[in-house]
Structure 1
Amino acid sequence: MVATNKMKTKSTEGPAERGYEQVCLEKELDFWDRCLAEPPVAAADVTEDRTCQQLAQMLESCLSRAKKTTLHCSSVLVPEQLTRRVARDVLRLASGEPCGLRGCVLYVHLELEKGWKQLERIAYDASVVPTFELTLVFKQDGAAWPSLRDFFFMGSCFTPAFRHALKLGPGFRLVKKKLYSSSAGTVIEEC
């Protein structure tokens, strides 16, 4: 028995000789080079970003409700990206916990000249037994008193119904307290 092998000859033509335009080929190679150079977006990053947005919206809603009920002011001025920064720090502190953010109870406070005022209690997932508490303390901006010019423009500034705008400062404080461990201490972060 004799085995025969028919070998196909390879074409020495390149892609350009087979009808591909050189320009199209370069564009396609550039596209794949860019795709390989960009880091892939992980599903966890997308979920974390969505959770961060939801938490920031919860904080903004909390401040909106508090201006009418607790703070008795016409508006609360919040620095740009403050709620987003707070949400990122809350997620960071929740990352090492057994239930993550779902096991968090967040107490939101406002620092006043004499102590602080509780604005709201937020449970991200009320169906989960809390494993830790976070106390968030927003700080007022240093310029809490309105200027004399603002009094003249408001007209009825000396009436009892006068309500001002409350301006928050860019700083805040987070205090973490673990509920499941008696040996765990309290973590205080000043931001």
Structure 2
Amino acid sequence: MVATSTVNRNSECLSEFADQGYDQACMDYEMEFWERCLAAPYLGAEVCEEHACQELARLLEGCLARAKASKLQCAHVLVPETLTQRVARDVLRLAAEEPCGLRGCVLDIRLELEEQQQRRCERLERLACDASVVPTFELTLVFKQDGGGWPSLREFLRIGTCFPPGMRRVLKLRPGFRLIKKKLYSSAAGTVIEEC
């Protein structure tokens, strides 16, 4: 997969990020990420795909970092070692089958939380990979919380000492995830769900 377009930094796209509460540095980083991913025609296909995979993994890690204090209400998010790289590879694999590749993707990032014997899905971010391209498919990425039993003794002793009430100390993610692909240009294609 080699793409040769640049990201459109139009005011409508940037104002959408600003409305969601992102600061200018965050918006610049996201735009630079997509420019680096999409504008590397001089690299071989394998090198370009590996570079895009690394950048996409960093973007997912940034999404989790931004969401931890705002939406997830926790101090730390523990991510299994290769989770973001595996997700990035699967996203690129699913995008390779599409007419516009990754440029036509809208990525909806969610987290399935388990609270008091109930499950709910919290939306973390929704990203359009290239605002200048009409989206051809939507990927919903669902990370899963690891309920993981009892807290460690160290965490038990720290409860309530340095975190505001109602804020979790640590949120741990499972190594598995779900990807749901929905084609936007064909009603007959249906939806593809992959559990990884």
Q: Per-residue deviation at 1:182?
A: 1.1
The DSSP-based 3-state class of the residue aligned with 2:134 is: coil
The DSSP-based 3-state class of the residue aligned with 2:168 is: coil
The DSSP-based 3-state class of the residue aligned with 1:106 is: strand
Q: Per-residue deviation at 1:146?
A: 2.1
The DSSP-based 3-state class of the residue aligned with 1:167 is: strand
Pick the aligned partner of 1:134 from 139, 159, 162: 139
Gaps of 5+ in 2: 1-42
**In structure 2, what is the Cα distance between the partners aligned to 1:151 and 1:142?**
16
Gaps of 5+ in 1: 1-41
**In structure 1, what is the Cα distance between the partners aligned to 2:163 and 2:99?**
53
Spell out the pairing of 1:7-156 with structure 2 (5 A cutoff): 43-113=44-114, 114-143=119-148, 145-147=150-152, 149-154=154-159, 156=161
Contact kept? 1:156, 1:162, Cα under 8 Å:
no
Contact kept? 1:130, 1:179, Cα under 8 Å:
yes
Deviations 1:90-148 (A, max 9, x none): 00001110000000001000011222100001222122111000000001113165245
**In structure 1, what is the Cα distance between the partners aligned to 2:83 and 2:168?**
23
Q: Could you tell me which residue of structure 2 aligns to residue 165 of structure 1? A: 170
Contact kept? 2:107, 2:140, Cα under 8 Å:
yes
Counterpart amino acid of 1:82?
L
**In structure 1, what is the Cα distance between the partners aligned to 2:105 and 2:91?**
9
Contact kept? 1:97, 1:131, Cα under 8 Å:
yes
So what's the TM-score if we normalise by structure 2?
Answer: 0.71
Contact kept? 2:163, 2:169, Cα under 8 Å:
no
Percent of aligned pairs with the same amino acid = 69
Q: Could you tell me which residue of structure 2 aligns to residue 24 of structure 1? A: none
The DSSP-based 3-state class of the residue aligned with 1:86 is: helix
**In structure 2, what is the Cα distance between the partners aligned to 1:127 and 1:139?**
32
Q: Which has the higher contact order (CA 8 A, sep 6+)?
A: 2
Contact kept? 2:112, 2:120, Cα under 8 Å:
yes
So what's the TM-score if we normalise by structure 1?
Answer: 0.73
Equivalent residues, number: 150
